[in-house]
């Protein structure tokens, strides 16, 4: 078992519907610790920078529009196998396909409004944490 970090976003739909507390409760109940967190409202340039890997895909413009429509919560999570544990906690990308009880089944309403983001690899974790946090903002 490897203790690792992952990066998480509570997306604008879930913040607007006041699901921050419920999502944090599920994260902590899954054994993941929140070691950094902040609320912010992404600019278009920030959203495009963060989602650069998806540029040119059919859903890209809708994704950028959605992610800039209101405040988000960004957080660093830590725990054993945190990347996989958190991806499993979120469920499938499309909330209608997500397993019952997962964050996206509970709090997502469709695409792109699927409530949460989680890094999909160790490389993504490093890039995504560095995009939002300096080292001294993360509790060691």
Tell me how far, at minimum, the Cβ of 13 lies from ligand RTP, in Å. Answer: 9
Closer CB to ligand RTP, residue 53 or residue 139? Answer: 53
Q: Residues interacting with ligand RTP, by CB under 6 A? A: 59, 63, 93, 111-112, 114, 117-118, 120
Annotated binding site for ATP: 11, 59, 87, 93, 104, 114
Active-site residue, 25 included: no
Annotated binding site: 11, 59, 87, 93, 104, 114
| Distance between CA atoms of residues 72 and 68, nearest Å | 9
Closer CB to ligand RTP, residue 80 or residue 94? Answer: 94
Tell me how far, at minimum, the Cβ of 97 lies from ligand RTP, in Å. Answer: 10
CA distances 78 to 12, 23, 48, 68, 93, Å, are: 23, 15, 26, 26, 22
Q: Where are the alpha helices (DSSP H) in the chain?
A: 12-16, 20-29, 44-50, 60-67, 82-90, 103-107, 122-132
| Distance between CA atoms of residues 27 and 19, nearest Å | 12
Which of 130, 109, 115 lies closest to 26 in space, CA to CA? Answer: 115
Closer CB to ligand RTP, residue 57 or residue 139? Answer: 57
Contact indicator for 63, 112 with CB cutoff of 8 Å: yes
Tell me how far, at minimum, the Cβ of 51 lies from ligand RTP, in Å. Answer: 7
Which residues are catalytically annotated? Answer: 117
């Amino acid at each position: 078992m490897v203790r690792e970090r992952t990066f998480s976003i509570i997306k604008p739909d879930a913040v607007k519907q006041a699901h921050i507390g419920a999502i944090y409760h599920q994260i902590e109940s899954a054994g993941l610790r929140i070691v950094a967190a902040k609320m912010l409202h992404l600019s278009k340039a920030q959203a495009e920078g963060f989602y650069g890997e998806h540029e040119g895909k059919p859903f890209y413009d809708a994704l950028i529009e959605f992610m800039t429509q209101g405040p988000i919560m960004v957080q660093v999570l830590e725990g054993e196998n945190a990347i996989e544990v958190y991806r499993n906690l979120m469920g499938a990308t499309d909330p209608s396909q997500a397993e019952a009880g997962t964050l996206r089944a509970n709090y997502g309403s469709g695409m792109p409004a699927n409530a949460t983001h989680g890094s999909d690899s160790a490389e993504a974790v490093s890039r995504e944490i560095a995009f939002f946090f300096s080292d001294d903002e993360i509790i060691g």
